């Protein structure tokens, strides 16, 4: 699918918990495959921000943005009628030829999953967040099992599924160790989006892989020696907010939507993107 750069009009922004859903008129850009990303040129910033496509309603492209720095804050502050340049779709997305898909997301890493879920006809999903406020973004995947720190997505029953995951590096490393065939969408800072700068490179079996061209989705059939630094974004759209519930200490299993929070100790479970 041909990538291209185009000036797109902002249709609006919506708060999704602590994140922001940025909705753009699609213009002539294609949405690409689930897991691919676009470079969004934030107003007043020198470098664009790499953001996975979250949703692709007719005539729109929607991106889930975590406002953690000047660039992403500028994207979240856009008003209806503003316009920004967008370049994409870029990278390699998820393979869709799986028999029993299970979507696993951590923090802002849930961003590519709504588009993926729609494409795969809404398979089960497990989502992990650092706080109940962040977990409000689970509304983008109704029916997902939701856990909140210190409970981790890897505490849930993932066996017997074809795992497709996106989230922070520790989460992906843990999934890779248990499920060698899992498809993992890695997060890393990206400056160009087409392989020129090597800013998003990770080392696999002694060989550098550029996440913007060989990824961001990789299948770790071999050892991953050095994961990327969490730093990009992904996408989204909304529904009802998941309620917060107190867990009983029972093992986490796939079940209807509900947020589990077994304590107050902190264990980062959310992904991050370039500021």
pLDDT in tens, 28-37: 999 999 999 9
Sheet holding 125-129, edge to edge: 217-218, 183-185, 162-166, 101-106, 125-129, 145-148, 258-261, 244-246
Percent of residues, the chain, with pLDDT higher than 90: 60
Mean pLDDT lowest among 9-18, 30-39, 125-134, 193-202: 193-202
Round to whole Å and give the CA distance between 100 and 117: 12
Mean pLDDT for the stretch of residues 219-232: 46
Residue 155 CB coordination number (10 Å): 16
- What is the radius of gyration, based on Cα positions, of the chain? 17
pLDDT value at position 209? 81
Mean pLDDT lowest among 51-65, 206-220, 245-259: 245-259
Contacts within 8 Å (CB) and 24+ apart, 160-163: 160/100, 161/100, 161/101, 161/102, 161/124, 162/98, 162/99, 162/100, 162/101, 162/102, 163/102, 163/104
Mean pLDDT for the stretch of residues 238-246: 27
Place of tokens 């994961």: 227
Place of tokens 């940025």: 22
pLDDT band at 232 (very low <50, low <70, confident <90, very high): very low
Residue 223 CB coordination number (10 Å): 11
Both structure tokens of 3: 């990538």
Round to whole Å and give the CA distance between 83 and 75: 11
């Amino acid at each position: 699918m041909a990538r291209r750069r185009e000036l797109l009009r902002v249709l609006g922004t919506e708060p999704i918990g602590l994140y922001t859903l940025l909705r753009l008129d699609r213009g002539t850009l294609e949405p690409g495959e689930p897991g691919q990303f676009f470079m969004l040129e934030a107003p007043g910033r020198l470098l664009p921000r790499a953001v996975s496509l979250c949703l692709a309603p007719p005539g729109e492209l929607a991106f889930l943005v975590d406002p953690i720095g000047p660039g992403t804050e500028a994207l979240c502050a856009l008003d209806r009628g503003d316009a920004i340049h967008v370049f994409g779709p870029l990278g390699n997305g998820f393979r869709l030829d799986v028999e029993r898909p299970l979507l696993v997301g951590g923090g802002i890493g849930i961003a590519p999953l709504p588009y993926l879920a729609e494409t795969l006809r809404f398979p089960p999903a497990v989502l992990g967040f650092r706080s109940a406020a962040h977990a409000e973004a689970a509304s983008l995947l109704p029916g997902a099992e939701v856990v909140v720190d210190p409970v981790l997505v890897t505490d849930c029953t993932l066996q017997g599924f074809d795992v497709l995951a996106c989230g922070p590096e520790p989460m992906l490393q843990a999934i890779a160790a248990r499920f060698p065939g899992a498809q993992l969408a890695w997060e890393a800072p990206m400056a160009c989006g087409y392989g020129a700068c090597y800013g998003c490179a990770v080392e696999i079996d002694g060989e550098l892989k550029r996440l913007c061209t060989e990824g961001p989705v990789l299948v770790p059939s071999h050892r991953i020696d050095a994961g990327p630094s969490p730093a990009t974004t992904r996408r989204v759209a909304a529904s009802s907010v998941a309620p917060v519930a107190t867990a009983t200490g029972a093992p986490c299993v796939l079940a209807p939507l509900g947020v589990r929070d077994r304590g107050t100790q902190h264990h980062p479970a959310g992904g991050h993107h370039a500021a």
